[in-house]
Structure 1
Amino acid sequence: MEQRVIRLNRNLYLNEINQAIAKGPFHDTWDSLSRYETPTWFSKAKFGIFIHWGVFSVPAYQNEWYPRNMYIEGTLEYEHHLKTYGLHENFGYKDFIPMFTAKKFYPKEWIELFKQSGAKYIVPVAEHHEGFQMYQSSLSHYNAYKMGPCRDILKELKLASEDSGLYFCTSSHRAEHWWFLGYGKQFESDIKEPLTTGDFYWPSVKEQPEEDDLYAVPYPSDDFLVDWLLRCCEIVDRYNPKLFYFDWWIQHEAFKPYLRKFAAYYYNKSNKLGEQAAICYKHDAMMFGTGIVDMERGKFADCKPFIWQTDTATAKNSWCYTNSLDYKSSEELICYLIDVVSKNGNLLLNIGPKADGSISESERTLLTEIGSWLAVNGEAIYNSKVWRYYGEGPAKEVEGKFSEGNTGAYTCRDIRFTVNNGAIYAIVMKCPPDGNTLITMLADNKDQNIPMFHGIIKQVTLLGYKGPITWSKDTNGLLIQTTPLKNTFPIVFKITCD
């Protein structure tokens, strides 16, 4: 009986969506969606917090792909599951749900920490690949409001963030669910037919396709694609996120008409409310200019004329909390933020709370140290624009997704630029211990037809520094001298020009 109610609601809801698209002003064509404009708030915010938290946080082993890999014979997760929880047919992934109680989940404390970090928006994952919805849903019983914590996680985070002035956004990774749990059908486990729409494990059809296979078969069924569309629209209708982030695989050919429908519905909804919404996507899933380009764990080597985003995590080896995380340093994360902003991008930094809802001390320390740096130097980041050049120095940036960690160590000669408040900000990525900084981009190159810089410098200050400072400018560059500095983080010079 429950399945019949779900199907009836699905048909009615789909009709409502189509009717809303027909009224415009955005229609489900790339031509129409090209009238999209990046929200002003996003271009100014620069820094957001991504949150991977869910049932996969309960085993806390390896990474957030535990629910998939635990069903692949021979993997570490498979062996760990047998040893720790027993046979898959007796204890499957669904049996972690009652253990996901979130007893220490205090949304106001989370948001306070995020504010201290200097973040301006949050992007909690509404549904990951494994299919457990972190919000109240009428499309499946397997959601956090009805099972596990029995709380509307998304709603609580929305209310807390908006009360604190942070922009509430969210993400869906539902597309990958088509194949995510498919290996569980290859041996005796709790994943078995019949599986119908609304079931937790439905459809679990096949092994993982190649990431760049835009035509992987079997194609997602119409039933699955409609379900995907409805779930996305339900999130929009219930929570009105200011940005909707999609993980990969929506670039598959089968998703295109449904993705266009969602974009039109979402943009129309926001337009009706007098707001600007945005969709963040990867792998050219959308026509360029209809949303925000995202690059996972990577960035561009040079400045771009369009606003973009990179998403990465505090840990190098997982997006969710596990018992074996390899955390990055706060210095590394601050430099990452600076480099991305200098190239017209935003940084979406992920954290992974524990299953009980607490945030590890390691991540708390990282976030507060980032926030401390931004409290002093934030004027070079927030609301900033790119300069004529993004930077200078010997460090060679490697461009592309999953390219982080391949850039050489920054030196005192590596400098990144932004513009704000009528000034050029020169951010020195490695603090010079002797107090001497030479900025070659600001040299007097009078013999060049197009000098790198030909403005008049009126004043040079070092943010957060109260000691003596001198500067001089010649054909070698702008030489700035301070007392010897002991600082493990980047330093920021504010160069006021006339």
Structure 2
Amino acid sequence: MALEIGRRSVLAGMAAMGMARNALAAGPLALKQGPVQANWPSLVDNYRYPEWFRDAKLGLWAHWGPQSVPEQGDWYGRFMYMQGHPMYEHHLKTYGHPSKTGFMDVQNRWTADRWDPDALIARYQKAGAKYFVALACHHDNLDCYDSRYQPWNSLRVGPKKDVVGIWEKAARKAGLRFGVSNHAAHSWHWYQTAYGYDPEGPLKGVRYDAFRLTKADGKGQWWEGLDPQQLYTGAHIVAPDGIDSIDAMNAWHEKHDGQWVEHGPPNDPAYVSKWLMRQIDLVEKYRPDLVYFDDYRLPFGSVGLEAAADYYNRSIDWHGKIDVALTAKKLKPWERFGVVEDVERGFADRIWDEPWQTDTCIGDWFYNIARLKDRSYKSAEQVMQRLADVVSKNGNLLLSIPQPGDGSIDSEEEKILDRMTDWMAINGEAIFASRPWHRFGEGPTTLKTGMQNEAEQKPFTAEDIRFTTKGETLYAILLGWPRGETIIKSLGARALAGRRVERVTLLGGGTISHRQDGDALRFRLPSDAGERFVPVLRIDGKGLTA
């Protein structure tokens, strides 16, 4: 069901929470007033893409929180409550039955005891990151920062630290732009499995911890003073009694709470009110250069528009102009001029008129020890191929490096970052502060535009070439190391309307002999690539970038 919860519902929610009706108009919660109004035409009319974002091209993301603790990958806090799922089985063996040991207990096991943010930021910066993004809150609803409106936060649970605040200081000290990601709009339906039960087995029908725990139950416990219902979001869509098979239970959840929805919980406007307060608090406190919303269009319709207007007006207050980036997904074409579109784990098949971003991870979003054991991370070569493809189409790449609960990174991830660092030291000039050419590239590998389609794409080859420009210099990035003669049809004399390629230089390798005829530019690279990959050529000649 499509439902936009507007300002009237927000105020009603505040009343339900015992808050004054003018809470949005005064005090620390006040929406920042300014030229930007909470509607799409105003966002589009006022927004201008910041030059720092257009120049940055590569961001590194710490998609890190308590779901990293079990080292099992993504969505542990939902799947651990689904009997028959591998994460349920892992939880049963490792922590106990979810009726007794729930995800809140896993959250408290988040130690961060090997976390060295300054060292990690330095490594990410060497690997090419120009901005850094910290996860502020995922679907598990724990705020990883000094949250004014969510008692379940990382200062009271788990590491007992202001994780976002510490990341922010480290990033800014290193000269990086700083961003935050907010995924909390979906917690309410994502967490409903925690109110369920085993449909089979010795504890059949026994409800999980979220169903039975109240604030009073915390007396004498580690969570004394906290209300589990504020974490688990409340029983909005609860599986009925009497489901007697795992398949039937999974089918029930898939139908009722397993869909990705963009509205708030029916009959609970307080949930949306609290989300808005948390978002305003996050922006006010850390002044991020980028905010990532894990939402289609904007969270909760008109409420998301209020959050966007608040953020842009605050930027005007901080910088004298809108100098921030706000991202959301599946925007309408004209909305991309008021908010940066993010294409999660996906591709574009053309040059976009407006800057955009894709986000991906070298493994699972949350740390999965299996990726280390079977060496199934994306390689540094694959990362650079992806970066070149995105940049050639006017986009940025936001790349996540998963961390286990202790905050370290593993040896394979270190090797990937080291190889990225080596590549950037030679080829970074073709990436940073570049702009697209009139063609993004050429080659046999076709890409399907859209989100969540990485697994469908065929590997890039040496015949796949991407172009970038900087001033009067044209760069050709070969997505594989060629063997034999390379032919670039886009640089033939006819394609260039008679303009001549005067010099071809392999970055890090010197001048390359070439021949330009009517059909193509032709040359050969050294056959022994050694440890190098994704070679970059600087193409010089008058008017080539015109």
TM-score higher than 0.5: yes
**2:358 is the counterpart of 1:310:** yes
Counterparts of 1:406 and 1:200 in 2: how far apart (Å)? 36
User: What amino acid is the match of 1:164?
Assistant: A
Structure 1 residues 184-221: Cα deviation after superposition (integer angstroms, max 9, x where no partner)? 21221110266879821123523565656567x85373
Question: Quick check: 2:25–2:31 contact (8 Å CA) kept in 1?
Answer: no
Counterparts of 1:24 and 1:149 in 2: how far apart (Å)? 38
Where do 5+ consecutive residues of structure 1 fail to align?
Answer: 446-450
User: What amino acid is the match of 2:316?
Assistant: N
**2:465 is the counterpart of 1:465:** no
Q: 1:480: which partner in 2?
A: 523
Secondary structure of the structure 2 residue equivalent to 1:102 = coil
User: What amino acid is the match of 2:211?
Assistant: K
Question: Quick check: 1:139–1:231 contact (8 Å CA) kept in 2?
Answer: yes
User: What amino acid is the match of 1:192?
Assistant: F
Counterparts of 1:374 and 1:22 in 2: how far apart (Å)? 40
Q: 1:38: which partner in 2?
A: 49
**2:325 is the counterpart of 1:281:** no
**2:529 is the counterpart of 1:497:** no
Q: 1:244: which partner in 2?
A: 291
Give the 3 Å change call, closer, same or farther, for CA 12–71 of structure 1 in structure 2: farther
Q: 2:430: which partner in 1?
A: 380
Q: 1:234: which partner in 2?
A: 281
Q: 2:398: which partner in 1?
A: 348
Could you tell me which of 266, 269, 292 is aligned with 2:311? 266
Counterparts of 2:379 and 2:228 in 1: how far apart (Å)? 44
Q: 1:47: which partner in 2?
A: 58
User: What amino acid is the match of 1:321?
Assistant: Y
Secondary structure of the structure 1 residue equivalent to 2:377 = coil
Could you tell me which of 408, 411, 415 is aligned with 1:358? 408
Deviates more, 1:328-337 or 1:276-285: 276-285
Secondary structure of the structure 2 residue equivalent to 1:457 = coil
Question: Quick check: 1:305–1:344 contact (8 Å CA) kept in 2?
Answer: yes
Q: Measure how far apart 1:130 and its partner are.
A: 0.4
**2:256 is the counterpart of 1:225:** no
Q: 1:437: which partner in 2?
A: 486
Question: Quick check: 1:21–1:268 contact (8 Å CA) kept in 2?
Answer: no
Q: Measure how far apart 1:437 and its partner are.
A: 2.2
Counterparts of 1:250 and 1:90 in 2: how far apart (Å)? 38
Q: Measure how far apart 1:54 and its partner are.
A: 1.1
Counterparts of 1:244 and 1:262 in 2: how far apart (Å)? 11
Q: Measure how far apart 1:452 and its partner are.
A: 4.5
Give the 3 Å change call, closer, same or farther, for CA 64–169 of structure 1 in structure 2: same
Structure 1 residues 102-121: Cα deviation after superposition (integer angstroms, max 9, x where no partner)? 11111101101111211111
Counterparts of 1:84 and 1:267 in 2: how far apart (Å)? 45
Give the 3 Å change call, closer, same or farther, for CA 172–23 of structure 1 in structure 2: closer
User: What amino acid is the match of 2:65?
Assistant: G
User: What amino acid is the match of 2:286?
Assistant: Y
Counterparts of 1:249 and 1:148 in 2: how far apart (Å)? 30
User: What amino acid is the match of 1:151?
Assistant: K
**2:165 is the counterpart of 1:115:** no
Q: Measure how far apart 1:79 and its partner are.
A: 2.2
Could you tell me which of 193, 200, 214 is aligned with 2:231? 200
Secondary structure of the structure 2 residue equivalent to 1:86 = coil
Secondary structure of the structure 1 residue equivalent to 2:278 = helix
Q: 1:371: which partner in 2?
A: 421
Q: 2:245: which partner in 1?
A: none
Give the 3 Å change call, closer, same or farther, for CA 204–480 of structure 1 in structure 2: farther
Question: Quick check: 1:176–1:249 contact (8 Å CA) kept in 2?
Answer: no
**2:101 is the counterpart of 1:56:** no
Secondary structure of the structure 2 residue equivalent to 1:311 = strand
Give the 3 Å change call, closer, same or farther, for CA 59–484 of structure 1 in structure 2: closer
Secondary structure of the structure 1 residue equivalent to 2:310 = helix
Q: Measure how far apart 1:163 and its partner are.
A: 0.8
Counterparts of 1:221 and 1:406 in 2: how far apart (Å)? 39
Q: Measure how far apart 1:178 and its partner are.
A: 1.3
1:151-162 equivalence runs, <5 A: 151-162=161-172
Counterparts of 2:420 and 2:384 in 1: how far apart (Å)? 6
Where do 5+ consecutive residues of structure 2 fail to align?
Answer: 1-13, 198-206, 216-226, 238-252
Structure 1 residues 397-440: Cα deviation after superposition (integer angstroms, max 9, x where no partner)? 22211111433333322211011141110111111234x32211
Q: 1:78: which partner in 2?
A: 88
Give the 3 Å change call, closer, same or farther, for CA 179–116 of structure 1 in structure 2: same
Q: Measure how far apart 1:482 and its partner are.
A: 4.3
Counterparts of 1:17 and 1:64 in 2: how far apart (Å)? 38
Q: Percent identity?
A: 33
Give the 3 Å change call, closer, same or farther, for CA 409–200 of structure 1 in structure 2: closer
Calculate the TM-score normalised by the size of structure 2: 0.83
Question: Quick check: 1:280–1:292 contact (8 Å CA) kept in 2?
Answer: yes
Structure 1 residues 322-344: Cα deviation after superposition (integer angstroms, max 9, x where no partner)? 22123111111110111111111
Question: Quick check: 2:29–2:281 contact (8 Å CA) kept in 1?
Answer: no
Q: Measure how far apart 1:241 and its partner are.
A: 0.4
Q: Measure how far apart 1:150 and its partner are.
A: 1.0
Could you tell me which of 443, 461, 466 is aligned with 1:416? 466
Counterparts of 1:132 and 1:213 in 2: how far apart (Å)? 20
Deviates more, 1:425-434 or 1:168-177: 425-434
Question: Quick check: 2:148–2:278 contact (8 Å CA) kept in 1?
Answer: no
Q: 1:190: which partner in 2?
A: 209
Counterparts of 1:251 and 1:59 in 2: how far apart (Å)? 31
Deviates more, 1:163-172 or 1:200-209: 200-209
Calculate the TM-score normalised by the size of structure 1: 0.90
1:147-186 equivalence runs, <5 A: 147-186=157-196
Give the 3 Å change call, closer, same or farther, for CA 397–489 of structure 1 in structure 2: same
Deviates more, 1:197-206 or 1:324-333: 197-206
Question: Quick check: 1:21–1:28 contact (8 Å CA) kept in 2?
Answer: no
Counterparts of 2:267 and 2:490 in 1: how far apart (Å)? 52
Deviates more, 1:468-477 or 1:173-182: 468-477
Structure 1 residues 251-286: Cα deviation after superposition (integer angstroms, max 9, x where no partner)? 57xx11110110110000001111511210012289
**2:77 is the counterpart of 1:67:** yes
Give the 3 Å change call, closer, same or farther, for CA 89–19 of structure 1 in structure 2: closer
Give the 3 Å change call, closer, same or farther, for CA 409–99 of structure 1 in structure 2: closer
Question: Quick check: 1:427–1:490 contact (8 Å CA) kept in 2?
Answer: yes
Count, aligned residues: 481
